[in-house]
Structure 1
Amino acid sequence: MKRQIVLGLALSALAAPAMGATAPSAVSFAEGAVAGSLTGTAGNPEEGMKVISDRGLGNCVACHVISAMPDVAFQGNVGPTLDGAADRWSEQQLRGIVADAKKTFDGTIMPSFYKNEGYIRPGDAFTGKAAEGELAPLLTAQQIEDVVAYLLTLKE
């Protein structure tokens, strides 16, 4: 019984930050920008750097070069360099671009990292079948805030 209570408390503690987050379908875009924080909690640039460079999370470096990350191998050249991102875009614009770049850049191939609906037949892993039910966004609301916080450190 004690183990169940402890497990329940641990799970509720993990879910607590997400409970206050703006749902992907409730994010309000104005000309591609998202004015307010998705979580009400400041982003952590160090965590954002992990998301950007982790091939299992954001994997931004697969398409973008970030000179401030010289130890991250195989940086891409598909998207623009993120060097100086904080000088080119505001915090609100960066939040919108990371959440759903398609709201800013028509025709972009950049994935929508904070979206869970409006897909055109998403697949169910490698089964060849359409996915069933609601899809989770690629990143959490806090991970979006963390990535934005890191991008705001990238100045020319």
Structure 2
Amino acid sequence: MKHTKLMSAFFGLTLAGTIAASAQAEEMAQYSIVDDSIPASLTGKAGDAANGKKVVINRKKGNCLACHVMPIPEEQFHGKTGPDLAGVAQRLDEATLRMRIVDPKVINHGTMMPSFYKTDQHRVLKKFQGKTILSAQEVEDVVAYLMTLN
């Protein structure tokens, strides 16, 4: 009986590790940059604004609040390094927002903002070396959320 439970636990952990590894090994989406923007979705579908909000406030994912003031009063400690994102959908279109999340250094080489969808970044946490910070779907979700900020 104990042997069966141990084997089940082992296979469960092995399967979970395999799923996690395959999620991290997501193949990079191909995209085209046109006039400092990425016009087409990275995933071919629209993002989920509700999940995008979760990503932007997640301190281990988007962490947008570290640098930006955002219209999310229930969250504390908004940064003031980056521009205020209230009304960003009136200032920037979806394609430009996508570019600024994927690789803002294309638009502004001196920006502090990290490239959230690049693998060859410098000075990143070890867990992100050779990986993207956000998945293609998370990028689309963040874009969808930012487009709600009129």
Check whether TM > 0.5.
yes
What RMSD in Å do the two structures reach over aligned CA positions?
Answer: 3.1
How has the CA–CA distance of structure 1 residues 107 and 40 changed in structure 2, closer, same or farther, with 3 Å as cutoff?
Answer: same
Q: Are 1:146 and 2:141 an aligned pair?
A: yes
Aligned pair count reads: 141
| CA deviations over 1:22-51 (Å, ceiling 9, x no partner) | x16x43222321111111122000100011
Give 2:103's match in structure 1, choosing from 91, 100, 111: 100
Report which of the two has the higher share of helix.
Answer: 2
Match of 1:128 in 2: none
Q: Residue 31 of structure 2 contacts residue 40 of structure 2 at CA under 8 Å; is this kept in 1?
A: no
Q: How does 1:1-156 map to 2 (within 5 A)?
A: 23=28, 26-67=30-71, 69-117=72-120, 119-120=121-122, 122=123, 125=126, 135-155=130-150
How has the CA–CA distance of structure 1 residues 149 and 123 changed in structure 2, closer, same or farther, with 3 Å as cutoff?
Answer: closer
| CA deviations over 1:46-83 (Å, ceiling 9, x no partner) | 1000110010110001100112x001100010000001
Q: Residue 67 of structure 2 contacts residue 81 of structure 2 at CA under 8 Å; is this kept in 1?
A: yes
Q: Rg: which structure is higher?
A: 2
Distance 2:106 2:77 in 1: 28
Under a length normalisation based on structure 2, what TM-score does the superposition of the two structures give? 0.78
Distance 2:83 2:124 in 1: 28
Tell me which amino acid in the other structure corresponds to 1:48.
Answer: G
Structure 2: gaps of 5 or more residues: 1-7
Structure 1: gaps of 5 or more residues: 126-130
Select between 46-55 and 28-37 the one with higher mean Cα deviation. Answer: 28-37
Greater than 4 Å deviation, 4+ residue runs: none
